[in-house]
């Protein structure tokens, strides 16, 4: 079984054999009291070109216009939105689907890190072979206490746990699939343990960039312990 959102993204790209075109940009902004904002942007720029090519081929053959495959994803995310809005501490949850440019944006505010974890884990719903939804066990993605923010695991939008490190075919397809994670804080950063992250000039932000293949192979890790001033 694979997470539904990952399965849908894979379907979208495998149809056109351009899985490597996906870019995931994730951002978490944290205030000193533990509240903050979360956003994830999923970009599939080459999909637009492939869809235009598919439509052109269909028209030349006299067939009907090719259906935009993002419709299924939008339906799934709309279903998820109803669940997210019921989570205590989660507000202003929104999803924006740019069907013309194949860009998906997910945003929400969280009252505390526990709510953030709960919301991200809610994306972990999987689909069985029979098409039924199966909820995975929640995991601790972030912790925050006493001016220390820990990134303990990958979030849903960078969840590569279901991909085997020796799955050569999958990794080859994902070699250009990019992930960028950004963390912004109200206070300056005193120290952090993962040197894969780049410290911002204002010392209030950290950014990491990697291919999904490198994350699977553990060449780049996302875990970090961030101590604030």
From its phi and psi, is residue 91 left (phi > 0), alpha (psi between -120 and 50) or beta?
beta
Q: Burial code of 202-224, b = ≥16 C-beta within 10 A, e = fewer?
A: eebbbebebbbbbbbeeebebeb
Please check whether residue 41 is in contact with residue 104, taking contact to mean a CB–CB distance below 8 angstroms.
Answer: yes
List the structure tokens of 143. 């912790």
Query: What average pLDDT is seen over the chain?
Result: 79
- Can you tell me the mean pLDDT for 32-50? 85
**Better-predicted residue by pLDDT, 131 or 228:** 228
**Global pTM value:** 0.78
Query: What's the pLDDT score for residue 71?
Result: 65
SS3 82: helix
């Amino acid at each position: 079984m694979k997470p539904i959102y990952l399965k849908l993204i894979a379907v979208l790209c495998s149809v056109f054999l351009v899985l490597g075109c996906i870019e995931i940009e994730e951002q978490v902004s944290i205030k000193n009291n533990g509240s903050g904002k979360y956003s994830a942007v999923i970009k599939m720029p080459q999909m637009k070109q492939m869809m235009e090519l598919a439509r052109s081929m269909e028209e030349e053959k006299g067939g009907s216009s090719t259906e935009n495959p993002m419709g299924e994803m939008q339906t799934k995310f709309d279903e998820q939105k109803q669940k997210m809005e019921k989570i205590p501490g989660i507000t202003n949850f929104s999803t924006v689907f740019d069907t013309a440019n194949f860009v998906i944006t997910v945003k929400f505010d969280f009252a505390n890190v526990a709510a953030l974890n709960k919301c991200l884990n809610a994306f972990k719903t999987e689909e069985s072979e029979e098409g039924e939804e199966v909820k995975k066990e929640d995991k601790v993605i972030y912790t925050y206490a006493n001016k220390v923010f820990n990134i303990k695991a990958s979030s849903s939008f960078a969840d590569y746990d279901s991909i085997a490190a020796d799955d050569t075919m999958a990794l080859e397809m994902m070699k250009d699939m990019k992930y960028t994670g950004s963390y912004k804080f109200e206070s300056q950063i005193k120290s952090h343990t993962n040197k894969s992250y780049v410290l911002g000039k204002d010392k209030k932000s950290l950014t990491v960039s990697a291919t999904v293949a490198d994350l699977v192979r553990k060449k780049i890790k996302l875990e970090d312990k961030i101590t604030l001033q």
